[in-house]
Structures are given as structure tokens and as C-alpha cells.
Structure 1
Amino acid sequence: MFSNNISDYKLNSTIKAGTFGTVYKANYLNSNKCVVIKQISVEQQADKVTRICEDVLKCRQFKHTNINSLLHCFVDKNYVYMVFPFVCFGNCQTLLENVFTSGFPEILIALIFKDIMSALVYIHSHHFIHGSLRAKSILLDRNKAILSNFRDSRSFINQGKRDQVLYGSTVGKAENLNWTAPEILYQNLSGYTEKSDLYSIGITSYEMANGFQPFLDSELTFMCTEKIRGNLPSLSDKSSQGLSSVNYSREAVPSAMNNQRTFSDDFHQYMEICLNKNPTCRWSAHKLMTHSFFKQCRNSSILDQLKGLNFDLQSCTYIKDEPLRAASANVKHLEDVKWCF
């Protein structure tokens, strides 16, 4: 379906440039289809080349409507090119920074995580964990949420047998620690299971509801201690006023914001289940999909919610993918889209 010649693709703009590779928004000229291309040089250290191969293999293994799919992969001269579908609204972290600066509406959070939970059920059934779930790893299209960034995912299958627990992995990667489950931070012989992804779901739900990451300005030692103690960050709404719980935010949430919204009891309970210190008390992804928090998804869709917020759905396919130039952007015309692979 796709060509192995890079000249058959028109690279329109740079979405992301990093030391590991460059991501472009492009058009496949043979069909004029809008795609995203990740370009990676093969002239790198052996361990990085191995990592490229592992990324491709992981992407090839997963085929699910709510998982970012690898459409094609080829080598041209000194570069590996990975072709992905274009997702018009980018990742949820960018939307938090530019549109939903006070947090996503609860019903939109439920719709997004219903899709993400479906993706988790799939990868857990294939004996994998995601390992770095966060708002940055969730892409939002017109009709669905898509889980991406499987760089830190790990398999329970070892030499043909399934291990009961995993060890190591994300500890030591500072960018993931805010979302890391307590059992991973323990680094003991008990190890951790796919339930660690459910803890990350809870932290990401907090991030998307409140509009900021928990423990954002905390010292790593304080953050780890609070998690191990089981002290949970709370949703900021009317019910949190006057409580002594700490929100671990960059700055205090304005009281006016708390006065204007109330999260449902189902949402609070869903958060408590995900953020339980004891992984055996957390529900599985399959069971969590049955939680009453997701009942509000029955008569709505992501597209309905975005229309209600006046997104410019007609022009979103042509969003300019450039680095953010300012912290302000309105809902009707989101020009800046970031991706995470």
C-alpha cells in the first residue's frame, strides 16, 4: 500500500525534532493521504539501532483500533522511515497546555479513558504492559482516543514462559516517575504486574481533570515517599474545599475554579481504585471498563463533545504542526500539535 521510496512522500512540516529522530507531517503522493513519518538515522550506536528494531517489532505486534498503528516501515539510504496515521488533535498534553488549561470536562475524560482502557485490555491480554502511560501518550482523533509511545513497554514472556512479575524498567527515568506506581518504586523482590498501568491511568486522569501533573514541583524523594505511604492526590472541585489533602501542584488551584465544577462520586471512586497503594486491590483494566464512571459514555462520543466545545472540525486535518509559539491558543483554532511516539 505504501512505497519504500521517500521521494513518494511530501514532507510538509516538522512536528518534532530530537536526538533520536525527527517526526514530520507528510502526504503520501500516490494516494494524497495525510500521514506522519518518523525519520531515524541508522548511523547510531549499536544499542540505539537495537532499540529502533525493538520499537518496530512492538508496533507490528499490536493491532487494535485504539493503538497507534505502524502503517509501513522502510529503509532509504541511511534512514529508517516509520509511517503512522495522522491524528488531527495531537496528544492530550498539548490540549492541556493550549485548550483545556483548567482540565478536561469529566464526560470527555470518561470517553477518552474508555478507549484507552480498551487498548490496555488488549495489550495486557498479550502479556505486555505499557510502562509509561501519561497524557503525552494519548492521541486524540475526531472519533477516538489512541494509545501511543510503547518505548518502555515490556513483555511477561521470557524464553517461552510467562513471568508472573517484572522487575526494573521505568525506575531511573525521571520523566516517568510522576506516573510510576509505588510497587515499581519499591524495587523489591515482589516486582510488579500489569496493575502498574492502572496506577498510571489514575495519575493521568488526575492530570487531565485538574489541568496539571501531580508532584510537579516536588522533590523526587518527597514524591516517592508520598506514593509509598499511599497519600493520594485529590481531584480539585467543590468537594475538595476545606480538605487538608495536598494537591501537589505547581500552584494552588483557584478557589473560583473549585466553585464552578463538581466531579461525580463515580469519578472519585474510579480514581481511588486506580490509585490504591496495594496493586492487588486495584481492578484489572477489563473490570475497570465496567465501572459506573463510564456509564456517561453511552449517549455521547468524542466527536459530539468536541463539537459542543466549538472545535473547527472542518479544518483540523490541515492543522499546522509547528513548535508552540505561545501558551495561549483558543479552542476554535488549534494550530500547534505535538506527538509522542
Structure 2
Amino acid sequence: MFSNSISDYKLNSTIKAGKFGTVYKANYLNTNKCIVIKKISVEQQADKLAMLCEDVLKFRQFKHTNIHSILHCFVYNSYVYMVFPFMCFGNCQTILENVFTSGFPEILIALIFRDIMCALMYIHSHHFVHGSLRAKNILLDHKKAVLSNFRDSRSFINEGKRAKVLHGSTAGRKENLNWSAPEILYQNLYGYTEKSDLYSIGITSFEMANGFQPFMDSELTLMCTEKIRGNLPSLSDRSSQGSTSVNFSRDPVHSAMNNQRTFSDDFHQYIEICLNKNPTCRWSAQKLMTHSFFKQCRNSSISDQVKVLSVEFQRCSYIPDEPVLAADANLNHSEDVKWSF
């Protein structure tokens, strides 16, 4: 149980900051537990506060070991404080930018997505679509990976009835389009289902394996056209040399380094299944968990991989060493930050 007084928390350092709030690494003094606190002023526009309330409600709906949970939420001196568990390695996009710049090892990708697939099975069983699955929204610590950021999630349940498909979505927002499934881009009467999350799994697996975001060098129109045609990005390894498949890497030196690696046939097949243009041919999260790509997880764990790679992981820490002078310090920031919570 957490306190409703900010004096019971020690704010150690700033993780991220923006116009509408700040995220801190902190300690709960009563138990000395390391946590993350998201601090947001209540003196904002009504739509921003409504979005905040919606975020809290969505976090409260899910309780699963592989879903980033909200531990506590309280109001103190015109600020809303949201308490989250501390994930020591941050999000996978940060790790890609600082440590595995040429992509994660395949075994670590399999271990991470085994956890994320468990989270998706739980979400889908509760008739929800996540809607914005990407490396930025996957958090990692010594023991597990968790799925975060449910701002774009949507439910099939409406007025007590379950719809067969969904229509329209904030998942079609510009910042999420590179990871969005073709059926979301279509925006037609056929709608989309939870299978759209599996397409995002495939794109995110590509992102984490190659070390760069999908379609990063493509115009928005070209990206949409390529997806609708079913032209898929390819994993950069020895098997892709001389291939005419789509790659979208901006750095030829970076691609040359990746081409020295070899990914397993199971990994290639797993990506192809996820990125199938036809959603009815895509496997469900439950079926995908049985794919042979995840067999390599049987004799390993995230903690084992972290021990081997501990030095590299320490260098990717996204927590600055600057102490926070006061809980209610006035921070002057010029740009907003999109948190991965």
C-alpha cells in the first residue's frame, strides 16, 4: 500500500520531462522500494485531464505479470502522481539506440516476445486490442519484459455486446502508422480484429532484430502502398544478401554489419506469419506461442542473457545522475514528451 503524501517519496532523478509533466525515478521511503513516479499538473485543459483519467482507467483494467501496471495514483498540491514499477533497462527503443545498435541477439528477442505474447493473449482474451505495439512500448528489467502504453487500446465490448470487428482507431495516428497493419490503413467496412496486434508484433520483431525502425526512410504514401501490396521488410542477415526484398535501412555500413549475422529459419518464418497481408491467415497470439521460434527459450531466460550482457546493459541506462532538488520544483521545458507508460 502506498501513501498519498509526496513527502513519503524520495525523487532521485528525472527520467523524462515535458510541458505537461515529468517522470522521475524514486524511492518509496516506507519500504525503500525503487519505483517510477509520473507527475502531472491538474491545471490543464479539460481534454488533457480526460485523457489522463482514461489512461488510469485502462491501466486499472489489466492485471498481468507481463503488463506494466499502475501501483498507485493520488493528487497532492495540484499535481497528480502516478506510481509505476521501476523497469531498470527502460524501453527497448532506448536499448536499441544505446546498446544493440545493430539489433538484439535472436535469443533475447525470443525471450522478450514470449513475455509480450503472454500479455497479448491476456489482453485479447479480455476483448481488447492494444493498438500501438512497438519497441518503445516494451519495457525490460532483469527478469521479464512488459507491455506498456494502453492509450490506443480499444475494446470489442460496446453496450454489453461484443462486436466482431473494430472500425476506425487512434492506432492509425501518424506516429503509429509504421507499425500498423494493412487492414487498419484500409479503413474500410471490413474493419480489423486483434490480429492487427500480431502484425505489429512482426514489425516490432523486425525493428529489434535489424536495429532500426521499419520504413524509416520511406515516404508515408510509399509505406502505405508497400503494406497494402504485401511487400514486406526483410531481416538483415546473410540470407538477405542479393535479395530484392524491401529493407529500408538508411545506413549502408549498418546494413553491411547486419549482413554478417545469421538468423534462424524459424525466426524468418515467424516474421512472415506475423506480417501476412491477410489477417485471417495470421496466427493468433495463442497459436504463435507454439511456434518453433520460441523453443530456444526453454534453456534460457532474460536473467541469463542479462548476466552475459550486463556490461552493455549498464551503459544503456536512461536515468541521468542529476538529483532532484525538490518534489515540486518548477521545471521549464520547451517540448512535450510521449511517455512509454
Instruction: Give the alignment's TM-score, normalised by structure 2.
Output: 0.91
Q: In structure 1, what residue type is equivalent to 2:30?
A: N
Matching residue's letter, 2:119: A
Distance in 2, Cα, partners of 1:247 & 1:318: 29
Give the 3-state SS of the residue equivalent to 1:260 in structure 2: coil
The answer for the alignment partner of 1:90 in structure 2 is: 90
Shift in Å, 1:254: 4.5
Conserved in 1, the CA contact under 8 Å of 2:134 and 2:204? yes
Q: In the alignment, does 2:53 pair up with 1:53?
A: yes
Name the structure 2 match of 1:264. Answer: 264
Q: Which moved more, 1:313-322 or 1:120-129?
A: 313-322
Q: Secondary structure at the match of 1:83?
A: strand
Q: CA deviation at 1:340?
A: 1.1
Q: Secondary structure at the match of 1:311?
A: helix
How does 1:245-284 map onto structure 2 within 5 Å? Answer: 245-252=245-252, 254=254, 256-284=256-284
1:202 maps to 202
Give yes or no for contact 2:89–2:313 (8 Å, CA) kept in 1. no
Shift of 1:90: 0.5
Q: Cα–Cα, structure 1 residues 268 and 315, in superposed 2: closer, same or farther, change >3 Å?
A: closer
Is the 1:13–1:25 contact (alpha carbons within 8 Å) kept by the matching residues of 2? yes
Provide the rounded CA distance (Å) in 2 between the counterparts of 1:171 and 1:194.
12
> For residues 320-339 of structure 1, what are the structure 2 equivalents within 5 Å?
320=320
Q: Aligned partners of 1:154, 1:260: CA distance in 2, in Å? A: 41
Label 1:171 to 1:95 Cα distance change in 2 as closer, same or farther (>3 A): closer
Provide the residue aligned with 2:168 in structure 1. Answer: 168
Contact 1:15 1:321 in 2 (8 A): no
Q: What secondary structure is seen at the aligned counterpart in 1 of 2:95? A: helix
User: Counterparts in 2 of 1:1-341, with a 5 A limit?
Assistant: 1-170=1-170, 173-252=173-252, 254=254, 256-311=256-311, 320=320, 340-341=340-341
CA 1:277–1:25: 2 relative to 1, 3 Å? same
Tell me: higher relative CO, structure 1 or 2? Use CA pairs within 8 A at least 6 residues apart: 2
Shift of 1:256: 4.3
Cα distance per residue 1:200-257 (max 9 Å; x no partner): 0000000000000111021100000000000000000010001111201222354642
1:82-133 C-alpha deviation (Å, 9 max, x unpaired): 1001110001000000000000000000000000000000011011111100
User: How far apart in 2 are the matches of 1:256 and 1:144?
Assistant: 31
Contact 2:172 2:180 in 1 (8 A): no
* 1:29 CA drift (Å): 1.1
Query: Cα deviations across residues 52-107 of structure 1 (Å, max 9, x unaligned)?
Result: 11111111111100000111011112111110011100010000000000000000
Contact persistence 1:241–1:258 (CA under 8 A) = no
Q: 2:333 is matched with which residue?
A: none
Q: Are the equivalent residues in 2 in contact too, given 1:237–1:263 (CA < 8 A)?
A: yes
Q: Give the conservation status (yes or no) of the 8 Å contact 2:181–2:196.
A: yes
Q: Would the aligned equivalents of 1:143 and 1:302 in 2 still touch at CA under 8 Å?
A: yes
Cα 1:77–1:319 change in 2 (3 A) is closer
Q: When the two structures are superposed, what TM-score results if normalisation uses the length of structure 1?
A: 0.91
Q: For 2:270 and 2:4, how far apart are their aligned partners in 1?
A: 46
Which letter does structure 1 place at the counterpart of 2:122?
Answer: Y
Structure 1 distance, partners of 2:154, 2:166, is: 8
Q: How far has the Cα of 1:260 moved from its partner? A: 2.6
Extract unaligned runs of 5+ from structure 2: 323-337
| 1:146/1:268 CA distance change after superposition, 3 Å | same
Helix, strand or coil at the partner of 2:37:
strand
RMSD: 2.0
Amino acid of the structure 2 residue aligned with 1:136: K
| Aligned counterparts of 1:99 and 1:155: Cα–Cα separation in 2 | 36
- Post-superposition shift, 1:301? 0.5
Relative to 1, partners in 2 of residues 1:315 and 1:6: Cα closer, same or farther, differing over 3 Å? farther
Identity of aligned residues (%): 83
Q: 1:101 to 1:16 in 2, by over 3 A?
A: same
- Classify the secondary structure of the residue corresponding to 1:136: helix
Give the stretch that moved more between structures: 246-255 or 107-116: 246-255
Aligned partners of 1:236 and 1:253 also within 8 Å:
no
Q: What amino acid maps onto 1:230 in structure 2?
A: G
Unaligned runs of 5+ in 1: 323-337
* Distance of 1:311 and 1:206 partners within structure 2: 25
Going from structure 1 to structure 2, the CA distance change for 1:314 and 1:173 (only over 3 Å counts) comes to closer
**SS of residue matched to 2:170:** coil
Q: Deviations over 1:118-175 (max 9, x none)?
A: 0000011011111100000000110110111111111111111111111111355211
Equivalents in 1 of 2:315, 2:219: separation in Å? 42
